[in-house]
Amino acid sequence: MPTSPDRKSSADDFYASLKERASAIEGRYRSLTPESARLNEEAQSFQPGGSTRDAVLRQPYAPFFSGGEGGWVTDADGRRITDLWFNASSLPLGYGDPGVLAAVHEQLSRGTAFFGPTEPDVEFARLLCQRLTSAERVRFTNSGTEAVMVAIQIARGLTGREGIAKFEGSYHGTYDDVFWSVATGSLDVGPVDRPVPIVGSLGVPPDPSRTLVLPFNELGATEKLLEANAHRIAALLVEPVPHRMGLIRPEPGFLEGLRAICDRHGMVLIFDEVIAFRVGYHGAQGLFGVKPDLTVLGKIIGGGFPAGAVVGRTEVMAVTEPNRAKRVPHFGTFSANPVSMVAGKATMEALTPGVFRGLNDSGERIRRELRRICEGLPLRVTGVGSLFKINATDLTIRDYRTALTVDRRWQELASLALLNEGFFLTTKLHGCVSLATTEEQIENFLSAFERLVRGGT
Ligand code: PMP
């Protein structure tokens, strides 16, 4: 990634011009959000860091939310904010969709949880099998993390091998064997053809023997590493649209190559579509035309309620069949919870092929406009479907290594400055649109972003 000294210094000058305004941006945020500040103070006394979810934290503190309607959220100080992240992309219809609310209200009056299966879970499982070409059987979970955990156990049960291969920079939840090489810090990541596995938590045993870390979009190196370790690898886990690398696309032939390697070596190919299911009616596997053995789902399939799923081929999922002597058991007091099931089904039914086209057209338009605004600046716009991300780097992002080059402080400050203007994105500038997002909200966001990069906001 050679960057010429001149280019680097002009990029640094650009980033510095926003950083010089850091205290003004933070001061304005504090003056707009006194109630969030008070709640944050109080939360610190009861929850480490002031929140249960590390991902929502930001400096100087996160905004607390009190409501959502359509494409808007209201914060604890009563400000109406255009939401461009929708609880980590999980609400494709926006807040308070009437169809979802009606389904949920009806289910609430019938009962919220039973010690037995319900019709909604059968119907929803059928819908998922119709949508995803690789899905023939479904097991519901409470979250994406849990779905990953179950999928890995299924792969181990099927192959009799223990190891898991994953890509550096991919987050798949905090389950021990996948919580490796996740954080985008400037750690020593090793050579690209032999990434160093970096444990993601003090709570994970730092023994890398069960996790093989691979370089995304580097098929040759990936193939060599997998071939050398094939005898011990049960599953290859891949995000078709890796979130922390910038919601980027796999290069042509990459996913097809992974499919072929797994076939050759008897490894289970698992697609993590917890986010990527949002990119099209048939998910990322439909968009890219590659069939995994198992797919893990989450986020949008809960329709705003907690849900996850492992779906896959009958022969693979058969390892969980209850009538087998040796198997992979799977339980869960709230798995296939009927409220989540009806909310998820109402959401997915509203997401027709035409609705996906509209959402993706909006995403495409935002990326195009952002690219126009960013022309000549050290900013790169990435994303697929209705998902987008602004990256503070002048390099093309194609993997974890290039994603590591971003100026994180610039991104955080830009995110806070946009929040002051009434637009909510992540601190790393991930965004997405929902069906409820209006043209006017998009126009206003683009204008606010243009003012920001021209030094006006
Ligand atoms: N996989 C991916 C690709 C994700 O983005 C996430 C959550 N951001 C997870 C797994 C974990 O899902 P959950 O937060 O529902 O446990």
State the Cα–Cα distance between residues 119 and 77, nearest whole angstrom. 42
The answer on 287 and 149 residing in a single domain is yes
Instruction: Show the tokens assigned to 162.
Output: 């223990």
Ligand 1: lining residues by beta carbon, under 6 Å:
88, 143-145, 148, 171-173, 239, 243, 272, 274-275, 298, 308
Q: Taking the CA atoms of 135, 347, 272 and 381 in sequence, report the sign of the dihedral they define.
A: positive
Q: Decide if 92 is inside a domain.
A: no
**pLDDT score of 187:** 63
**Nearest to 349, CA basis, from 110, 92, 142, 174:** 92
Same domain (yes/no): 321, 416:
no
CA proximity to 309, closest of 141, 169, 161: 141
List the end-to-end C-alpha distance of the chain, in Å, as a whole number.
32
Going by alpha carbons, the residue nearest to atom 10 of ligand 1 is 172
Residue 143 falls inside a structural domain: yes
What's the CA-to-centroid distance between 375 and ligand 1, angstroms?
A: 32
Residues 128 and 227 in one domain: yes
The residue whose C-alpha atom lies closest to atom 13 belonging to ligand 1 is: 144
Active site residue 272: yes
Kindly report, residue by residue over 93-120, the tens digit of the pLDDT: 999 999 999 999 999 999 999 999 999 9
Residue 258 shares a structural domain with residue 113: yes
394: phi then psi, degrees, rounded to nearest 5:
-105, 15
Residues of the chain falling short of pLDDT 70: 1-4, 184-187, 457
Helix (H, G, I), strand (E, B) or coil at 385: coil
Q: Which residue's CA is the nearest one to ligand 1's atom 12?
A: 144
The pLDDT assigned to 189 comes to: 87
The last residue of one of the domains, among 316, 350, 384, is 350
CATH assignment at residue 428: 3.90.1150.10
Are both 68 and 208 inside the same structural domain?
no
pLDDT tens string 260-312: 999 999 999 999 999 999 999 999 999 999 999 999 999 999 999 999 999 99
Catalytic residue among 272, 293, 399, 407: 272
Q: Is residue 344 part of a domain?
A: yes
Same domain, 269 and 317: yes
294 within some domain: yes
On whether both 370 and 443 belong to a single domain, the answer is yes
Domain with 237, as residue range(s), is 98-350
User: How far, in Å, CA of 425 to CA of 362, rounded?
Assistant: 16
> In angstroms, rounded to a whole number, what is the distance separating the alpha carbons of residues 81 and 451?
18
Domain stops at, among 350, 373, 396: 350
What is the best residue among 89, 145, 426 to mutate for testing ligand 1's pocket, by most ligand atoms within 8 Å of CB? Answer: 145
The answer to whether residues 346 and 446 belong to one domain is no
Is residue 226 located within the same domain as residue 276?
yes
**How many angstroms does the Cα of residue 288 sit away from the middle of ligand 1?**
21
Residue 125 identity (one-letter amino acid): A
DSSP structure string for 152-204? HHHHHHHH---EEEEETT----S-GGG-BS-S-SS-----TTSPPP-BS-TTS
The β-bridge relationship of strands 211-214 and 233-238 is unpaired
How far does the centroid of ligand 1 lie from the alpha carbon of residue 297, in Å?
A: 9
pLDDT given at position 184: 55
The answer to whether residues 110 and 174 belong to one domain is yes
- Calpha distance 303→405 (Å, rounded): 35
The answer as to whether 93 is a domain residue is no
pLDDT at 188: 79
Residues 334, 318 share a domain:
yes
Residue 248, pLDDT score:
97
Catalytic residue among 171, 175, 281, 400: 171
> Do residues 378 and 240 both lie within one domain?
no
Question: How much is the pLDDT for 227?
Answer: 97
Q: CATH number, domain at 231?
A: 3.40.640.10
- From ligand 1's centre to the CA of 166, what distance in Å? 14
Q: How many domains does the chain have?
A: 2
- Which helix (H) or strand (E) covers residue 312, if one does? strand 308-312
Q: Please tell me the predicted confidence (pLDDT) of residue 455.
A: 87
Which of 141, 245, 299 is the pocket-test mutation for ligand 1 (most atoms within 8 Å of CB)? 299
Known catalytic residue at 171: yes
Asked if the structure places residue 90 within a domain, the reply is no
Domain boundary (304, 325, 350) is at 350
* 175 part of the active site: no
Whether 148 contacts 303, CB under 8 Å: no
57 assigned to some structural domain: yes
In-domain check, residue 91: no
